[in-house]
Amino acid sequence: MITPAVKTLLISMTAVFLGQTAVALTYHQDGSNWIYEHFGLVPGLAVFYAYIWQPFTYIFLHGGLWHLLINMLVLWMFGCDLERVWGQRKFYTYFFTCGVGAGLIVIAAELLPMAWHHMPSGIPTVGASGAIYGVLVACAVLFPDRQIWLIPFPVTLSMRVYVSIMVAIEFFSELTSGTGDNVSHVCHLGGIVIGYLYLRRGSFFYNMRNSVSDWKQRRLRRKFKVYMQQRGGDPPSRPDRWVN
């Protein structure tokens, strides 16, 4: 059965899309442009005009029916298993961390060319794809050997291999597509990177803590070596009495 968090996301994003459609039917292209400009992710507006809600609200907007259906299908297929393992609260935290983090990466990628006096494109980014790619990465980490059937081909792949192929496709698509396919591959890659860092943050901090601990031990050994050299290699003298 569908899990509560995934169900809530499906309903809310579908409701937002229906609202988008109603506005487009009523106010035509001007209405759609207003929604995308104010609630999609436009880096120039988000940074210079303090539209600070955009890295969150862009997740709920979609550019068309197929865009919505594909994202919701993938969210239902893979998100439910994550929520069963993590619980509702942790799933929400991870989903929106990936989505908002992907949005921030899009902002950074769009504004970076300004250092070379190139203005950002101003094209809105919409969709939950960044967060959903984070969901795929989590499934590859938690369920690496689960088999995926590539419909309609009679081929099955492990979850780890499937997600690796998807990551490679997004990476090379970003290198070769430019702006011609109207797909924000940077957003997809951002969701992948943020999701992986979120999942591996414990091991990163663990390694950092071990490195600091090793450095302290090496420093203490050097100090003790200097101390022994100063005393001619003799051990510390035995105290005359012990004090409790």
Q: Locate 219 and state its tokens.
A: 């420093």
Give the max Cα distance, the chain: 95
Give whole-number Cα distances, 200 to 18, 114, 137, 165, in Å. 37, 32, 11, 20
How is the chain split into domains, by residue range?
Answer: 4-202
Coil/strand/helix, residue 148? strand
E-state strands within 173-226: none
* pLDDT score, position 178: 59
Q: Is the peptide bond before 239 cis (omega within 30 degrees of 0)?
A: no
Residue-wise DSSP of 66-97 = HHHHHHHHHHHHHHHHHHHHH-HHHHHHHHHH
* pLDDT score, position 198: 92
For the question of whether the overall pTM of this predicted structure is more than 0.85, the answer is no
* pLDDT score, position 244: 47
Q: For the chain of 244 residues, list the mean pLDDT of each consecutive stretch of 10.
A: 94 96 92 93 88 95 93 94 94 96 92 78 89 95 89 84 92 74 85 92 65 78 75 60 50
Give phi and psi for 150, each to the nearest 5: -85, 90
User: What CATH homologous superfamily does 4-202 map to?
Assistant: Rhomboid-like (1.20.1540.10)
